[in-house]
Every structure is written in structure tokens, then in C-alpha cells.
Amino acid sequence: GQSLEQPSEVTAVEGAIVQINCTYQTSGFYGLSWYQQHDGGAPTFLSYNALDGLEETGRFSSFLSRSDSYGYLLLQELQMKDSASYFCAGAMNRDDKIIFGKGTRLHILP
């Protein structure tokens, strides 16, 4: 079956770097996506890894290793506005249902 595991909470300091990990148990995994959700809002797309390696988008980077069934989201130069929940999501194939992890709440200290 499909499941994605991520830590429930992470705390970091403003200006620092934080990594949010996501491990998954599924076969034929197609790709890994990351979403940000602020309280009361809808999830918004951050990044997508179709292939192994690092994808960089501004202060955010995402990594995927299919051989390790593992990915992570890296947030640099943390700002208070980055306080939110972050979700990894994936699907078994191109046209399959997309499943989410339970989310990681990121707390940022001044």
C-alpha cells in the first residue's frame, strides 16, 4: 500500500536552515511533491521531484532518492512567514491517486 511518513513537528530559528523529511512505502512510486499550508488556508504547491536529485526554487529545495524511498524539503534563510504546515505527497503512477503525509508543523523562533 501507499503511505508517507513525516515528523509531526519541527522547530527552528529565524534565519536558519531546516530540513523536513518524508519517507514512503510504496512500489512503483512516480514522484514526490511538497505543499505548504498556513492556518485557515488551502495547501499551496511548493515543489515536485519526478527524478532523483535536488530541485531548487528560491529559498526552498526538495530532494528525492527513489532507492532509499526518501525525500526532504529544505528551507533556507527561514522567515517568520514560513511558520506553517508542510506536506509531502505522492502517487504510484502518473494517473493514480495522490496521497498525502500527515504533515509537519514548522515552528519558527525569533
Partner 1 sequence: TAGITQAPTSQILAAGRSMTLRCTQDMRHNAMYWYRQDLGLGLRLIHYSNTAGTTGKGEVPDGYSVSRANTDDFPLTLASAVPSQTSVYFCASSDPGLSGELFFGEGSRLTVL
As beta bridge partners, residue 72 has: 21, 63
Q: Under the criterion CB under 8 A, does residue 71 sit at the interface with partner 1?
A: no
Q: Under the criterion CB under 8 A, does residue 35 sit at the interface with partner 1?
A: yes
The cell for 77 is: 534563510
User: For partner 1, which stretch binds (CB under 8 A), given 16-24, 38-46, 69-77?
Assistant: 38-46
Which one of residues 42, 51, 81, 110 is an interface residue with partner 1 (CB under 8 A)?
42
Report the candidate in 16, 1, 10, 9 with the shortest Cα–Cα distance to residue 78.
16
Q: Under the criterion CB under 8 A, does residue 86 sit at the interface with partner 1?
A: no
8 DSSP 8-state letter: S
Q: In sequence order, what are the residues at sequence separation of 6 or more whose Cβ sits closer than 8 angstroms to the Cβ of residue 56?
A: none
Q: Under the criterion CB under 8 A, does residue 16 sit at the interface with partner 1?
A: no
Q: Under the criterion CB under 8 A, does residue 36 sit at the interface with partner 1?
A: no
Backbone angles phi, psi at 80, to 5 degrees: -60, -30
- Residues making contact with partner 1 (CB under 8 A): 8, 31-33, 35, 41-45, 48, 50, 87, 89, 94-95, 97-103
